[in-house]
A and B are shown apart, each in its own frame.
Chain A
Amino acid sequence: MFWQIFTFEISYRLKRPATYLYFIAFFAIGLLCFSSGSTPATEKVYHNSPVVLAQFMAIFSMVMMLVCSAIMGVPLYRDIEHNTSGYYLSYPVSENGYFWGRYLGSFIFVVLIGTSLMFGAYFGSLLGPAFGWVPAKRIGPNHLVNYLQPYLCIAVPNLFLASSVFFGLVAITRTVKVIYAGSVLLFIAYLLSNFLVSDLENKDLVRLLDPFAVNTLDLEIRFFTPAERNTLLVPVKGLFLYNRLIWSGIGLLLLLVTRFTFSFRNFFGGKLRKKIVEEVAVGKTYIARLPPVSISFAGGYYRKVMLNMAKIEYLNITKDVYFRAILLGGVVFLVIDYWIGDLTYSVGTYPLTVNLMAYKSYNYMLFIFIILIFYTGETIHRDKTTRFATINDALPMPDWVLYGSKLLGLSALALLLSTVPLVFGLLVQLFKGFTDFNFPVYFTELYLITFPQMIQMIVLSFAVHVLVNNKFAGHAVGILIWVLMFMLRNYGEMNYNLFFFSYAPGYTWSDMDGIGHMAKPVFWFNFYWLLFGGLLLVIAAAFYTRGIVTSAKERLAVARARFHGAIRIVALTLLVGFLSAGAYIYYNVSYLNNYLTSRESEERQATYEKTLKKYENLEQPKITSLKMNTDIFPEERKVLLKAWLKVVNKSPVIIPALHLDGTGIESYEVIYNGKAIRANYPLIYKRGKFNLFRPANDTAKYRIYQLPAPLKPGDSALVEINSVSAYRGFTNEMSGTDIVYNGTFFAVGLPSMGYNPDGELISDEKRKKHKLPEKKDEYPPQNDPKGIRTLLFNDDANLLTYDITVSTSGDQTAVAPGSLEKKWQKDGRNYYHYVEDIPVDLFFDVVSARYSVKRAQATNYGRTPIDLELYYQANHSKNTDRFLGAYKDGIGYFSKTYGPFQFKQMRLLEFPKYRAFAQSFPNTVSYAEGFGWTADFSDVNKFDYGYFVTAHELAHQWWGHQVQPNRTRGSNLVSESLAEYTALMLTQRKYGKDNMKRFLKDELDRYLSGRANESKKENVFVNCNRPYQWYNKGSLILYGLQDLIGADTLNKALREFRDEYAGRTEPPFAGSKDLYRHIEKHVPDSVRYFLDDTWNKITLYENKVLSVTSKPTGKKDEYKVTLKVSTRKFYADSAGNEKPAARMNDYIDIGIFAAESKDKTGRTLTVPLALKKYKLTAGTHTIEVIVKGKPVKAGIDPYVKLIDRIPDDNVSDI
Chain B
Amino acid sequence: MQLIISSLSKTYPNGVKALNNVSLTVNQGMFGLLGPNGAGKSSLMRTIATLQEADSGTVTLDGIDVLHQKQEVRQLLGYLPQDFGIYPRISAEQMLGHIARLKGIGKKSERKELVSALLEKVNLAKDKRKNLGTYSGGMKQRFGIAQALIGNPKLIIVDEPTAGLDPTERNRFYNLLSQIGENTIVILSTHIVEDVRTLCSDMAIICQGELLYTGGPDAALSELDGKIYSKTIHKDEIYLYREDHKIISTQLKGGQLNLRTISDTDPGYGFVQVPAGLEDFYFSRIAEKADVVTL
CA distance A472 to B103 in the complex (A): 32
Chain B 108-139 interface residues, beta-carbon cutoff 8 Å to A: 110-111, 113-114, 117-118, 120-121, 123, 125, 127, 130-131, 133-136, 138-139
Contacts of A309 in B (CB 8 A): 102
Q: Mark A544-556, 1 if CB is under 8 A from B, else 0.
A: 0011111100100
Contact status B139-A276, CB under 8 Å: yes
Binds B, one of A288-296, A636-644, A1079-1087: A288-296
Q: Mark A301-315, 1 if CB is under 8 A from B, else 0.
A: 100110011001000
Contact status B134-A281, CB under 8 Å: no
B7 within 8 A of A: no
- B147 nearest CB across to chain A (Å): 6
Binds B, one of A104-112, A395-403, A914-922, A1155-1163: A395-403
**Known: A276-B130, A276-B136. Is A287-B117 also a contact (CB below 8 A)?**
yes
- A57 nearest CB across to chain B (Å): 42
A603 within 8 A of B: no
Q: Mark A949-975, 1 if CB is under 8 A from B, else 0.
A: 000000000000000000000000000
B161 within 8 A of A: no
CA distance A546 to B75 in the complex (A): 16
A387 within 8 A of B: yes
Question: Across the two chains, which residue of chain A brings its CB closest to B78?
Answer: A394
Question: Across the two chains, which residue of chain B brings its CB closest to A320?
Answer: B89
Contact partner of A290 (CB less than 8 A), chosen from B106, B117, B168, is: B117
Contact partner of A291 (CB less than 8 A), chosen from B50, B75, B89, B114, is: B114
Chain B 152-187 interface residues, beta-carbon cutoff 8 Å to A: 152, 166, 168-169, 172
Binds A, one of B80-88, B201-209, B225-233: B80-88
B149 within 8 A of A: yes
Contact status B134-A295, CB under 8 Å: no
B239 within 8 A of A: no
Contact status A275-B83, CB under 8 Å: no
CA distance A291 to B100 in the complex (A): 13
Contact status A394-B139, CB under 8 Å: no
- A566 nearest CB across to chain B (Å): 15
Chain A 528-578 interface residues, beta-carbon cutoff 8 Å to B: 546-551, 554, 557-558
Which of A273, A396, A550: most chain B Cβ within 10 A?
A396
B17 within 8 A of A: no
Contact status B81-A294, CB under 8 Å: no
B104 within 8 A of A: yes
B12 within 8 A of A: yes
- B216 nearest CB across to chain A (Å): 27
Contacts of A394 in B (CB 8 A): 49-51, 74, 77, 79, 81
Contacts of B46 in A (CB 8 A): 547-548
A855 within 8 A of B: no
B101 within 8 A of A: yes
Contact partner of A275 (CB less than 8 A), chosen from B85, B117, B136, is: B136
B266 within 8 A of A: no
B253 within 8 A of A: no
**Known: A396-B71, A546-B51, A547-B46. Is A294-B105 also a contact (CB below 8 A)?**
yes
**Known: A278-B138, A294-B105. Is A391-B120 also a contact (CB below 8 A)?**
no
Contacts of A319 in B (CB 8 A): 89
**Known: A312-B98, A391-B79, A395-B74. Is A293-B85 also a contact (CB below 8 A)?**
no
A390 within 8 A of B: yes
Contact status B110-A294, CB under 8 Å: yes
- A486 nearest CB across to chain B (Å): 36
Question: Across the two chains, which residue of chain B brings its CB closest to A555?
Answer: B53
Contacts of A547 in B (CB 8 A): 46, 50-52
- A195 nearest CB across to chain B (Å): 35
Contact partner of A387 (CB less than 8 A), chosen from B10, B51, B84, B98, is: B84
Contact status A398-B85, CB under 8 Å: no
CA distance A394 to B79 in the complex (A): 7
Contacts of A295 in B (CB 8 A): 75, 103-105, 151-152
Contact status B104-A273, CB under 8 Å: no
- A221 nearest CB across to chain B (Å): 50
Question: Across the two chains, which residue of chain A brings its CB closest to B79?
Answer: A394
Contact status B101-A276, CB under 8 Å: no
**Known: A305-B102, A391-B84, A393-B51. Is A290-B114 also a contact (CB below 8 A)?**
yes
Contacts of A280 in B (CB 8 A): 168
- A272 nearest CB across to chain B (Å): 9
CA distance A394 to B149 in the complex (A): 13
Contact partner of A388 (CB less than 8 A), chosen from B79, B85, B172, is: B85
B257 within 8 A of A: no
Contact partner of B101 (CB less than 8 A), chosen from A305, A385, A386, is: A305
- Size of A's binding interface in residues, CB under 8 A: 47
Question: Across the two chains, which residue of chain A brings its CB closest to B95?
Answer: A388
Chain A 313-334 interface residues, beta-carbon cutoff 8 Å to B: 316, 319
Contact status A296-B51, CB under 8 Å: no
A284 within 8 A of B: yes
A297 within 8 A of B: yes
Contacts of B114 in A (CB 8 A): 290-291, 293
Question: Across the two chains, which residue of chain A brings its CB closest to B168?
Answer: A281
Which of A278, A387, A388, A390: most chain B Cβ within 10 A?
A390
Contacts of A554 in B (CB 8 A): 53
A274 within 8 A of B: yes
**Known: A284-B123, A550-B13. Is A293-B75 also a contact (CB below 8 A)?**
no
Question: Across the two chains, which residue of chain A brings its CB closest to B86?
Answer: A388
B242 within 8 A of A: no
Contact status B134-A275, CB under 8 Å: yes
Contacts of B83 in A (CB 8 A): 387, 390
**Known: A396-B75, A397-B102. Is A558-B53 also a contact (CB below 8 A)?**
yes
Contacts of B123 in A (CB 8 A): 281, 284
Question: Across the two chains, which residue of chain A brings its CB closest to B70?
Answer: A546
Contact status A396-B105, CB under 8 Å: no
CA distance A312 to B101 in the complex (A): 13
B99 within 8 A of A: yes
Contacts of A387 in B (CB 8 A): 83-85
Question: Across the two chains, which residue of chain A brings its CB closest to B112?
Answer: A291
Contacts of A273 in B (CB 8 A): 88, 131, 133-134
Contacts of B71 in A (CB 8 A): 396, 398
Contacts of A275 in B (CB 8 A): 134-136
Question: Across the two chains, which residue of chain A brings its CB closest to B113?
Answer: A291
B144 within 8 A of A: yes
Q: Mark B45-72, 1 if CB is under 8 A from A, else 0.
A: 0100111110000000000000000010
Contact status A396-B103, CB under 8 Å: yes
**Known: A281-B169, A281-B172, A308-B101. Is A276-B134 also a contact (CB below 8 A)?**
yes
Which of B79, B80, B100, B104: most chain A Cβ within 10 A?
B104
Contact status A276-B103, CB under 8 Å: no
Question: Across the two chains, which residue of chain B brings its CB closest to A387?
Answer: B85
Contacts of A281 in B (CB 8 A): 123, 166, 168-169, 172
Contact status B103-A296, CB under 8 Å: no
**Known: A295-B103, A396-B74, A396-B75. Is A391-B147 also a contact (CB below 8 A)?**
yes
**Known: A290-B149, A547-B51, A550-B52. Is A296-B86 also a contact (CB below 8 A)?**
no
Contacts of B134 in A (CB 8 A): 273-276
**Known: A394-B77, A547-B50. Is A294-B168 also a contact (CB below 8 A)?**
no
- B163 nearest CB across to chain A (Å): 14
Q: Apart from A278-B138, A290-B149, A291-B113, list 19 A-B contacts with CB within 8 A.
A: A273-B88, A275-B134, A275-B135, A276-B135, A278-B136, A281-B172, A285-B120, A293-B105, A293-B107, A293-B152, A294-B107, A294-B110, A297-B104, A391-B147, A395-B103, A396-B71, A396-B151, A547-B46, A547-B51
| B residues adjacent to A (C-beta < 8 A) | 10, 12-13, 46, 49-53, 71, 74-75, 77, 79-81, 83-89, 98-107, 110-111, 113-114, 117-118, 120-121, 123, 125, 127, 130-131, 133-136, 138-139, 144, 147, 149, 151-152, 166, 168-169, 172
User: What are 11 of the A-B contact pairs (CB < 8 Å)?
Assistant: A278-B138, A293-B111, A295-B105, A301-B106, A385-B85, A390-B81, A391-B80, A391-B81, A396-B71, A397-B74, A549-B53
Nearest 3 Cβ contacts at the A-B interface: A387-B85, A547-B51, A396-B74
